[in-house]
Amino acid sequence: MIIRSAILQGSSPDLASCPVSELPEFALIGRSNVGKSSLLNMLTRVKGLARISSTPGKTRLINFFTINGNWTLVDLPGYGYAKVARKERASFSAFVSDYLLHRSNLLGTFVLIDSRLDPQPIDLEFLEWMVTSGLPFILVFTKSDKLSPKAMQKNIDAFLEKLRVISETPPHFLTSSSKVGEGRAEILHLISDAIAEQAEDSGA
C-alpha cells in the first residue's frame, strides 16, 4: 500500500466524542512508551505527525489519523503509566476499553509489546482482557533495533509462552522498528488485506 496522505482528523477524550466514521479503522495500543506514536509516524512516513516523547504518558487522547482519505489509524493512550494520577489512569482504561469494545468501524487492533523486556504483567493483563472480551488482535514486538536477534527471540518466546495460558489460539505476531522501518510493509499489508476482505464481505 502506498501512503499518499495522512491527516490528523481529531482527538477525543472519550468514545462519545470520537468522530462518527464508517471508514475502516485500525488502532495501536500498548503500554506507555512502547512506541505507538513512533510506529504511526513510521507507517505514514510523516515525521512528527503523532507526538513522540521519551516521557511516558504523552498521548492522552484518542488521536484519529485519516490515511489516503479512506481508512483511519488511531493512536490510543498508553496503559500502565504509574506517574499519571490514579484517577486519570482509571479513566484512561475506561475510555480505551470503551473504544475497543464499542467502536463499530474498528477493523483491527495492533497490540504493541516492548521486545526488550521480559513478559510484563500489565501487557498480559491487558491481553487477557482482550481475549475474554472476544477482541482479536495482532501483536507487534517493537524496538527490534535495540537488541540482538537472539535476545529478541528469547523475549518473544517467553512472551508467547505466557500467552498460552491466556489464549489457546496462537496469536498473529510480527516485529517492528520505527527507527529502521522494520515491520512497515507487513503491517500495511495486513491492513490492506483486512480492508479488501471487508469490502468483499459487504459486497462492494
Binding site for Mg ion (CB under 5 A): 36-37, 58-59
Task: Tell me the residue number closest to ligand GTP, measured at CB.
Answer: 78
What are 177's three cell numbers? 522498528
From the list ligand GTP, Mg ion, none, partner contacted by residue 164 (C-beta under 5 to 8 A by kind)? none
Q: Give 142 or 195: the residue with its C-beta nearer to Mg ion.
A: 142
From the list ligand GTP, Mg ion, none, partner contacted by residue 66 (C-beta under 5 to 8 A by kind)? none
Site string for ligand GTP, 12-41 (x = CB under 6 A): ------------------x-xxxxxxx---
The answer to whether the beta carbons of residues 59 and 112 sit under 8 Å apart is no
Q: Which stretch binds ligand GTP (CB under 6 A): 52-60, 90-98, 125-133, 153-161?
A: 52-60
Helices in 84-174 by DSSP H: which ranges?
86-102, 121-132, 149-166
**Nearest distance in Å: CB 169, Mg ion:** 29
Confirm or reject binding of residue 143 to ligand GTP (CB under 6 A): yes
Total interface residues for ligand GTP by CB under 6 A: 23
Residue with cell 477525543: 12
Residue among 60, 68, 79 nearest 11 (CA):
60
Q: Give 43 or 163: the residue with its C-beta nearer to Mg ion.
A: 43
* Distance, CA of 43 to CA of 61 (rounded, Å): 20
From the list ligand GTP, Mg ion, none, partner contacted by residue 172 (C-beta under 5 to 8 A by kind)? none
Q: H or E element: which one contains 64?
A: strand 62-67
* Distance, CA of 66 to CA of 44 (rounded, Å): 10
**Nearest distance in Å: CB 181, ligand GTP:** 9
Binders of ligand GTP among residues 82 to 141 (CB under 6 A) are none
**Nearest distance in Å: CB 36, Mg ion:** 5
**DSSP code per residue over 23-54:** S-EEEEEEBTTSSHHHHHHHHHT-TTSS---S
The helix/strand/coil state of 200 is helix
What are 129's three cell numbers? 482482557
The answer to whether the beta carbons of residues 180 and 145 sit under 8 Å apart is yes
**Nearest distance in Å: CB 24, ligand GTP:** 22
The answer to whether the beta carbons of residues 63 and 73 sit under 8 Å apart is no
**Positions that interact with ligand GTP (CB under 6 A):** 30, 32-38, 52-54, 56-59, 78, 142-143, 145-146, 177-179
